[in-house]
Amino acid sequence: MKGIILAGGSGTRLAPSTHSINKHLLAVYDKPMIYYPLSVLMLGGIREIMIISTPEDQPRFRGLLGDGSSLGINLKYKEQAEPNGIPEALTLSQDFIGSDDVTLILGDNIFYGQGFTTILRNALNKHSNATVFGYRVKDPRRFGVVEFDENQKVKSIEEKPKNPKSDFAVTGLYIYDNKAASLAKNLKPSDRGELEITDLNREYLKRGELDVELLGRGFAWMDAGTHEALFEAAEFVKITQQRQGFKLACLEEIAYYLGYISQHELYRKGKSMEKNDYGQYLLEIAKRKYTKQYWDHTDQNPMLGMVK
């Protein structure tokens, strides 16, 4: 399984903050936005990941994350010259995907909830063609909307319908089989001039190959693509971390628990940032003796649910 993070676009909804920086590099409380989708792929066990961004922003992502070796993963980069739609991420990455399946996540999406990692890994393990994740929203007219039957099989999927057939939005996390890039190549641009991910999902639905995983009321899904949403996401992360004592989307912590980096490497990372809370958190983990009781406790952290 390969992973793709789409972190391109012009970020106009977050202007003027994005006039000089890609929105996915903006901080969501104490870490860059891209840490959140990258943590999802890492927790899913995906180690080969491509980050797609604009030509001018690619050096900034490289400067932040490098080739991924410091986290025990393999990062590649690809340019998207123009924001031509989400499915273009698949066509641009076709050589990278090769003969593997692929999980695509949008760079401004944040997922949180007890057992999310378990749901994700189960979906990755059992999926055969295409799987999307549905989340109940107050105003489904703003999203791609999925309708399903009593057996949780998808009946229809529509993009921003005036009269939604359900209140479940399709999140920015998609699992596809190896033919996704080929199907994406055959899509036609919508009225707004972009390739639509809903059209790709609808193509899988026509083939009887689209599944949906529902994220219940105990989950949070955020798209941090506007000023208000970015502020709300930062507040959510701040409050959750302060109350629970764990950090969400802490890539170094995840890499350590997965066995990708050593205790010494984790300590060095913490030492390089010891003047702030993030670095102190890494140092605390590196110095802690791991016991079964501690593992049982961390398993309650939704961002670490399957990491054992």
Nearest to 174 by CA among 127, 139, 218, 241: 127
How much is the pLDDT for 8?
Answer: 86
Q: Would you state the pLDDT for residue 269?
A: 95
What proportion of the chain, given as a percentage, has pLDDT over 70?
93
- The residue among 279, 191, 254 whose CA lies nearest residue 37 is 254
Look at residue 75 in the predicted model and tell me its pLDDT.
98
pLDDT of residue 30: 95
Contact 205, 154 (CB under 8 A): yes
The list of the chain residues with pLDDT below 70 reads 289-308
Our CA dihedral for 152, 222, 11, 107, rounded to 10 degrees, sits at -70
Asked if residue 101 lies in contact with residue 2, where contact means CB atoms within 8 angstroms, the answer is yes
Question: Pairing relation of β-strands 102-106 and 74-79?
Answer: unpaired
pLDDT at 289: 53
Residue 301: the pLDDT is: 44
Contact, 230 vs 18, CB < 8 A?
no
Tens digit of each residue's pLDDT (9 = 90 or more) over 193-246: 889 999 999 999 999 999 999 998 889 999 888 899 999 999 999 999 999 999
